[in-house]
Structure 1
Amino acid sequence: MYETKTIKEKLKLFAVILIPILITQLSMYAMNFFDTVMSGNAGTEQLAGVAIGSSLWVPIFTGINGVLLALSPIVAQMVGAKKEKEIPETVRQGLLLSIAIAVVVAIVGFFLLDPILIRMDLEQEVRHVAKYYLIALGVGIVPLFVFNLLRSFMDALGQTRISMFIILIALPLNILFNYIFIFGKFGLPALGGIGAGLASALTYWISSGIAIWIVVKIRPFSIYSIFKDWKRPSLSYWWEQLRIGVPMGFAIFFETSIFAAVTLMMSVYDTNTIAAHQAAINFASFLYMIPLSIAMALTIVVGFEVGSKRYRHAQIYTYMGITMGVVIAFLCGFILYTFDETVARLYTNNPEVVKLTTQFIFYAIFFQFADAIGAPLQGALRGYKDVNITLIMALVSYWIIGLPSGWIFANYTDFGPFGYWMGIIFGLSAGAITLFFRLLALQKYYLRL
């Protein structure tokens, strides 16, 4: 990271940080994408089972990952304020915290998984796939959280190409493992959707191992000696990360969990509808990795500028990111509108599922516009370490506006299952609008300092 003066310099630095993040995020989500696509080719029940399992896991993972992502603005502001000596212990304590959180999640999941699935109105085969997909995935939960913590450290130093390098190694391995475990190759039994969970877990272990090796051996990470001089867990360090990370995590959780809640509510519909919904949301979420990457890059550059007390420069970066988000929204909308049936056939050849998927994709065109603006706004606010108001806004817009309105549309109009997607559009739009006004107020405050 370094200070910039002109718009051209800012665009260059932002691109250097953003492009590797974008490739990393697309590649990481591609793992879930290939899990879903390859499971769908193993059967509709396999696709529906992975859909239910993902709907339970993704909100938990993204919410907790929000806690781990708090390390990024913390370290970025330390770099901007020339406080590099504080970084090693901060990262070490973050690693201990990530492991502790992973253990807690595994224990809670062990006791709650069966009761949750039993209460859902699922076909027996779908419930079986969902359960053991999650159990297989859980084998890799500790290395997954460790990798994401180390990735936040790398990215905060502006070295986003390193995490890109790791994921570009992991993605083809994940596809290979999917092929082996889902379809039963090289003498192994065909596990269907359950094999997708096992493939992901194995990939998490490899990714984490590579990340640890790089932090130990490769400069500039090695100069921080992260894996030396371990101390006992420190509640003060944990509190600093949790104070920022928990609101970040819950804000992300409220957004992602609304999609999960919709999928779970769709369990009252037939398997074809669940599969079509999952296929459409899976591809739309794949496109969402673009504005999400812009948000992550904004957190780094805004955090650096705020740490350096260059508040006008932080503002310029913010509007640069929002503008990119709007441009991307039009591009993604065109892709979804033009290639809806092509996208649907990536997931299944079932004519009924293809037809339903194209209908869901039509609604995705509209809610991704709100996402393309809302995500960069959240990223900029995290750079300021402004997370509490964002949490409240996320709760209201998604769970008080979005989900209830979706339920009304689904149950009291002719929209049926598509009504839930109408609710998502309302919720995401409300969130983007409120976040924009919060950002304006925050920028005015800092510019007066």
Structure 2
Amino acid sequence: MTMLFEVAGSTARPAATHSLTEMGLHERAHLQEWVLDQPQVLGDDVLIVTSEFDRWSGHDGTRTRDRLDVLGLDAAGRLVVAELKRDDSGGDVHLQAITYAALVSRFTLETLAEAHAQYRTRRGDPMTTSEAADRIAEHVGGELDPDVLRRPRLVLIAGSFPRQVTHTAVWLSEMGVDISLVSVTVWRVDNRLVAGFTKVYPTAEVEEFTLAPARAEARVATEKAAERNRAANAVRRLVEAELLSNGEALTLQPTHGTTAQTRAAIADWVAEDPARGRATWRNDPVSPLVWAADGQPWRPTTLAKHILLEAAGVDAAVRGPAWWVTSAGADLAELADGGSGRKDWSYLHRLLDAVPAGRWTTYGDLAQLVGTAAQPLGNHVMKCPECTNAYRVLASTGRPSPGFNWSDPGFTKSVEEVLAEEGVRFTNGAADPAQRLRADDLRRLAGAV
């Protein structure tokens, strides 16, 4: 149960709850769109494959009018069947979900790619079936496992669930079916509507202690997929961690999925037009590479497959992020896989500690040593409590960054005033270049600390 309160100082009062019907909200136009916009409601790392899917047919070609609300795919390659009801779920919602799960359990990559392409195109993002297949392959980090695909997860979302549904969900879970019940509630707060999604079954304790054999097998399959998921989610982690700046140059270096023969063919193909071997990064989780050969945005894996086919005539699965390297020599997969997917900034902290009073350095000098770009490094410094001497880091012009703020909001001196007190000379608002510590200077100082 989720309780929402309106608070004012030391007082709190319950916010008024409403059903979707009371607020004039509808299942398709509202609840379904919320789920499509925020797929984390269905679980971690879920890609929406399609919605309103009704293209079923039997062996005799007979069509059925059943409509699957939402079909997703998690990063482990498991299908997610979601059935939505705006208020009380009714007594047969689980039966509908089971029927859809049985139908989609026979889906293949080709079926899913066709459905996803139609869904994206219908929603204003035209996509070919081939592009959709690449998008799905990127999401799961390679090929789909038919055994995992045959065990869809069920997610039932409704305002409330009658006992026959909750009892059946418990029994299905004990029989090895992965099923979740999620309640949706709407509150009105300050004349705004707030929607809340609460997982009412299974609780963490139930998930821990009621693992039937089939459910345990699904968990093992998920764990086995973790390695390949790291590559699939490389782009998302790079964007979230801001490890690369917009416009950062990348160079083609074919590795995964290639042989010596195909790499030689790609090298000859790039030699004909060197732009084919260059790209720039943009912090877009969908199409982060701008290929110099055509100026168009691409997904890393889609572009790698395109290059492999064009240069060597080979159509094979590849891990695209491993094909593109930064000026520091790290490929995108390696860069995203640093620890938990976040960059280790400990060396930066050591460098900042080494900057003495009366001297200054730049974000670019630090970025050169740390192995990143100036923009993500600056973003980190601005919000990092461990970054001592951050005020001694200036832009390449010798001027303080406009976004710099003191950790103590009550401190009123400007960066220029503090640096001047430490002995840094300023001319027309710019710090003296002679007092700048460049990358080699910083490396020597940090080595002496």
TM-score range relative to shorter protein: under 0.3
Choose between structure 1 and 2: higher helix proportion: 1
Scaled by the length of structure 2, the TM-score of the pair is: 0.25
Quick one: higher RCO (CA 8 Å, sep 6+), 1 or 2?
1
Scaled by the length of structure 1, the TM-score of the pair is: 0.25
- Bigger radius of gyration among the two: 2
